[in-house]
Structure 1
Amino acid sequence: MKHRKVLVVTAALAGIALAVTGCSGGSGGSGGSSSNDSGKKTLPTSAQINPKPVSDLEDGGTLRLPISQWVSQWNYNEVDGPLVDASTIEQATMPFIYTIDGKGAPTLNTDYVSKAEVTSDDPLTISYTINDQAKWNDGSEITWRDFENEWKTTNGTDKDYLIAGSTGYEDIDSVTKGATDKDVVVKFGTPFSDWKSLFSPLYPASQTSTPDQFNNGYKGKVPVSSGPYEITDLNETAGTVTMKPDTNWWGDKPKLDQVIFRSLDGNADVDAYLNKEIDSVLTTTSERFDRVKKAKSTKILASTSAQYTHVDFSTNGLLKDKQLRLAIQHAVNRDALAQVIGGTLPYKLGTLDNHLFLSTDKGYKSNIKPNATFDVEKAKKLLDDDGWKTDGTYRSKGGKQLAIAITIPSGAPVSQQLAQVMQQQLKEIGVKLTLKSVATDDFFEQYVTPGNYDMTIFVWGGTGFHSSSATIYTSGATGQNYGRVSSGAIDKLTKQALSEPDSDKANAIWNKIDEQVWSIGHSMPITAKPALVAQNPKLANYGAFAGAQNIDWTKVGFTK
């Protein structure tokens, strides 16, 4: 799965769509919703988006949608850029060379590239033919130079570019001009099986070629874009992002006059929905779902998302000790945490036992044995062997109490509930866990990204490619491994997986990686987040998307 930082941060749990991107895998299987023994239904694995032909949609209208936080960085490739909220908007305003369909498969976006093919296996060479009509909204052509620049700025060779990750780009030897400026030849030094994940979104060389441009050119502004819509207003005071149709767009024309995204944290988005101030809202907790399920003029849509809630560890403090991390893995009852998240929702949520695959993915298997089974006695023995002696309620060593903190964003009540449950679970083994609540808008920039925490909770959001999750688990000073928990074995296996063209063989390697990830106590997945959406019944081709499915913004609108 390709991971994004969902600010969707278990804020996602609060209904806040704080999510980061970075996990792969679409959802497979059929879309039923049969009941199980608990009386709860199984989530559909296909999209429910009120599909309608474009001919049935009104011309015009304003769509009002919530986002979970203010987006300050619009360069998705910059370290603070890969947020789910940002990606949702960028799918309408920036080039995506490949998009993910409802079955989790990458599909060439011919609005931008009319042809992409492997022209050599040794060395791996991809030839792209850019659509003759493809241009930036400043009128300049999209050319091979934009592809070359994306490679040069994100391949990790110049540390002044603050990149989210270099996976794939670091394996490229050259990006050169083909027969014309619209022909791109990408030659790899190391085979990269996920090459379709690259150059999405694509940024203009004119705006991102220097470190200052790359790091700051899209900070608080979008100087140049390309898509059916363009951002016309960023109002941080009001917390609104407005996009309108780009008059230079050459593809299918969008139906809406404008889309206004409004930053709403906590449960403010549910309040706004019930007040008819927005047209669609995620309802992935019991409290939120119960508030909207019987609301007037509401359609409830459900699917399996590519986002999952997890607990992240950092090596900045006491948890640099692997034995401590492993003890916590054994002491935490993840099934109990999944039930906190699921609450009284009508759908059953099971634990996610794999970091690299969703339970609906072909390659999924549970790898929690022997390092992450729920086993309190094993947790206590690990702490005993590590020299942490029982001293009253909590353990200590060398006069230092075994006390750690879990950092969560304010306005995320489910995150707080999860933290409180873990607080009690860890108390049983003599670990003191304190809760540290921080401002939502500071959560990633000041705490998560720099690894300024012991433990934290947020949501990873999938994008359909395994490669984008690589930097979550590999070593390095940049990337999405915020807690800097890694090993040489994981680095080596990841290189093997990324260069293996056979998907079954690659899946086997990814599962070996997952075993290693559990063995070093990197993080704990809890459960996949359901996509439960309440929305205006007239809103079409939008709603509960399956897995990492992209939005076709040219088809979103209101029925006549």
Structure 2
Amino acid sequence: MRIRSTMIRLAIPMVALGMVVTGCSSSSTEGGTAALGTTNKINPHPVSDLKEGGNLRLSLSSFPASFNALHVDGNVQDTADVVSPTLPYTFNSNAAGELTVNHDYFTDIQLTSTNPEVVTYTINPKAVWTDGSPITWEDLKSQWQANNGTNNEYQSASTDGYDHIGKVERGVDDRQAVVTFSQPYGEWKGAFGQLYPKADTESPAAFNDWARNSLPLSAGPFMITNIDRTQNRITLGRNPKWWGDKPVLDTITFSVLDSMATVPAIQNNELDEAYVSGLEAVTGAKQAPGVEIRRAAEPTYSFIAFNGAPGSIFEDQKLRVAIAKAIDRQAIVNNGQHGIVDNPKTVNNHVYIDGQKGYQDNSQDVAFNLDEAAKELDALGWVMKGDVREKDGKQLAIRDVMYQQDQWVNTAKIIQADLQKIGVKMDIQTVPGTGLFTNVIDPGNYDLAQWSRSTSVLPIGALKQFYYYDPHNWQGNKSRIGSPELNAVIDQAIAELDPDKAIELANKADKMIWDEGHSMLFNQASGTHAVRINLANWGAFGLATPDYTKVGFLK
């Protein structure tokens, strides 16, 4: 299972636990493959076609460790799924990834100056938090101060954009924020992609714990109305303070399910929609009564990451690269997408997804080559002793950690078999969704780890979040790998206002990321969702933003 991200991913890309293995065949009955950014499949209908009320039943891989998506523990798609219907965000995206101001929350967002760079946010005068207090410029200022990287007590998932801002000031009134950048920032539309109340960001203690176990204050068409940790269920209900279009649905219910339980839940009419992966799961969901497959390519990919933290076995960049060359990414993609995709392809760029402008293959220096990998291990002093290499009396034995799901394990077995051929022992360890990041990946309790990541319609900002080298604040760089030289190129790419030059710099950074042996990417998600036939305005969104007020069931 891969978790569908329901938030617009502007400033804060999310990570997911489940495996992205599905694609779609050009001869499929669901309409075939369409390139990223060309379409979505949500069964569009006017609200007049829908029944009033109803409950939308969705699934999560794990219970959110935090409901603060700005926090390192909340920067996962399970959190995004839950909070997206409850919080303000700045821009809407259509299927082509084109952005327009979200007028529910802002009457206007304008780049009002380029020297210095100034963006003026004019807040909808009707917009209020669930306690009735107005959304004001102070909410933006407080969020900037919490995420700009000047105070490491804020355990921020990303400083991107915020660290380029010099000041946030009151505009013509409390409903206007004037944001002045101290450094150029090309993807300025990604700043404040999702807005939390000042109560969440006003101090490190609040930022780290205010939304740890609930979301006390929100401002969307829905709000969290019940959290049942015994049943592993979260319920959203209509927000009585909501000023926009009335939602069709009464409630949205999220249930935490093991990956093996998702398809049976669809088949037994216990879920209304779920992301499905692998031929068996897709086939099983497709055969369920009253269910159809909706597909649209989305900017998500799966990968395996090296842990290069000081003291780890993969602190050695040359060792990472040698092992990287022993990972047959194409075989992994072929295995995972056999019978689903006509021409399975690997993702070869950490910034752009195939179909986005700027995508190119920068992975050549770590291309699969077992003979070369073995020679490089020899040169590093890892010599064969029986079936396993040793150096200074220590075996070359590593551990690959992943979400407890068959597709991930199948991937690990392919890697394990190839590594065995060159004298590397690899153990496979699976972990349930709950605690995988907070207990294993975030503290660096792994050698290799597998998970998935969603990118963005504004992807360059993710470079700093995931690949910047800052031992004082790793943000989303869970591999703890990078260099000052890479940092410099990332900074240049983020600050470049010319889109073509920014793409050139982003690709220069991407080649450096590959050469660092940071992570090896597998396949892109096509976005395969099993959905109740009578559910409208919901399904495979691709690059588009959901409109939660228009989701509902046909009459």
Q: TM range, normalised to the smaller chain?
A: over 0.9
C-alpha separation in 2, matches of 1:271 and 1:469: 38
The Cα of 1:6 is off from its aligned counterpart by 5.1
2:392 counterpart of 1:385: no
Task: Answer yes or no: is the 8 Å Cα contact 2:61–2:433 preserved in 1.
Answer: no
Q: 2:505 aligns with which of 498, 506, 509?
A: 509
* Structure 2 residue runs without a partner (length 5+): 1-8
Q: Which amino acid aligns with 2:361?
A: S
Partner of 2:143: 150
The Cα of 1:224 is off from its aligned counterpart by 0.2
Closer/same/farther in 2, CA of residues 32 and 206 from structure 1, 3 Å limit: closer
C-alpha separation in 2, matches of 1:5 and 1:199: 13
Partner of 1:270: 263
The Cα of 1:206 is off from its aligned counterpart by 2.9
C-alpha separation in 2, matches of 1:406 and 1:229: 39
Task: Answer yes or no: is the 8 Å Cα contact 2:65–2:438 preserved in 1.
Answer: no
2:127 counterpart of 1:134: yes
C-alpha separation in 2, matches of 1:205 and 1:187: 19
Q: 2:362 aligns with which of 342, 361, 367?
A: 367
SS of the residue 2:173 aligns to? coil
Task: Answer yes or no: is the 8 Å Cα contact 2:66–2:73 preserved in 1.
Answer: yes
Closer/same/farther in 2, CA of residues 540 and 160 from structure 1, 3 Å limit: same
The Cα of 1:200 is off from its aligned counterpart by 2.4
C-alpha separation in 2, matches of 1:3 and 1:246: 25
2:433 counterpart of 1:440: yes
Closer/same/farther in 2, CA of residues 513 and 14 from structure 1, 3 Å limit: closer
Task: Answer yes or no: is the 8 Å Cα contact 2:21–2:523 preserved in 1.
Answer: no
Closer/same/farther in 2, CA of residues 468 and 523 from structure 1, 3 Å limit: same
Closer/same/farther in 2, CA of residues 391 and 213 from structure 1, 3 Å limit: same
Partner of 1:8: 16
SS of the residue 1:242 aligns to? strand
C-alpha separation in 1, matches of 2:428 and 2:384: 22
The Cα of 1:390 is off from its aligned counterpart by 1.6
The Cα of 1:283 is off from its aligned counterpart by 1.4
Deviations 1:228-272 (A, max 9, x none): 111101111111111111111111111001111111122211111
SS of the residue 2:283 aligns to? helix
Q: Which amino acid aligns with 1:493?
A: V
Task: Answer yes or no: is the 8 Å Cα contact 1:4–1:84 preserved in 2.
Answer: no
Partner of 2:547: 552
The Cα of 1:90 is off from its aligned counterpart by 2.1
1:405-554 maps to which residues of 2 (within 5 A)?
A: 405-410=399-404, 412-466=405-459, 467-476=461-470, 477-547=473-543, 549-554=544-549
Q: Kindly, what percent of the aligned residue pairs are identical?
A: 34
Deviations 1:58-108 (A, max 9, x none): 111111111111113111111111111221232210010113221112221
The Cα of 1:121 is off from its aligned counterpart by 0.8
2:180 counterpart of 1:173: no
2:391 counterpart of 1:400: no
Task: Answer yes or no: is the 8 Å Cα contact 1:533–1:543 preserved in 2.
Answer: yes
Q: 1:42 aligns with which of 33, 51, 66?
A: 33
C-alpha separation in 2, matches of 1:72 and 1:457: 19
Partner of 1:19: none
Partner of 2:300: 307
Task: Answer yes or no: is the 8 Å Cα contact 2:276–2:529 preserved in 1.
Answer: yes
Task: Answer yes or no: is the 8 Å Cα contact 1:356–1:510 preserved in 2.
Answer: yes
Deviations 1:427-473 (A, max 9, x none): 11111111122232111001111222100100001232221342211
C-alpha separation in 2, matches of 1:13 and 1:518: 21
2:183 counterpart of 1:190: yes
The Cα of 1:14 is off from its aligned counterpart by 8.4
C-alpha separation in 2, matches of 1:125 and 1:6: 27
C-alpha separation in 2, matches of 1:102 and 1:41: 16
Task: Answer yes or no: is the 8 Å Cα contact 1:3–1:461 preserved in 2.
Answer: no
C-alpha separation in 1, matches of 2:325 and 2:172: 59
Deviations 1:14-70 (A, max 9, x none): 89xxxxxxxxxxxxxxx997459xxx9535542111111112111111111111111
C-alpha separation in 1, matches of 2:448 and 2:24: 36
Q: Which amino acid aligns with 2:408?
A: S
The Cα of 1:347 is off from its aligned counterpart by 5.2
Closer/same/farther in 2, CA of residues 238 and 528 from structure 1, 3 Å limit: same
C-alpha separation in 2, matches of 1:210 and 1:494: 29
1:224-263 maps to which residues of 2 (within 5 A)?
A: 224-263=217-256
Q: Which amino acid aligns with 2:65?
A: S
C-alpha separation in 2, matches of 1:107 and 1:86: 24
Q: Which amino acid aligns with 1:12?
A: M
1:281-296 maps to which residues of 2 (within 5 A)?
A: 281-296=274-289
Deviations 1:272-319 (A, max 9, x none): 111101111211211211211222111111111211000000014211
Deviations 1:411-441 (A, max 9, x none): x111111111100011111111111222321
C-alpha separation in 1, matches of 2:129 and 2:193: 15
2:60 counterpart of 1:67: yes
SS of the residue 1:526 aligns to? strand
Partner of 2:348: 353
- Root mean square deviation, CA, Å: 1.9
SS of the residue 2:444 aligns to? coil
Closer/same/farther in 2, CA of residues 112 and 41 from structure 1, 3 Å limit: closer
* Structure 1 residue runs without a partner (length 5+): 16-30
The Cα of 1:503 is off from its aligned counterpart by 1.2
Aligned pair count reads: 538
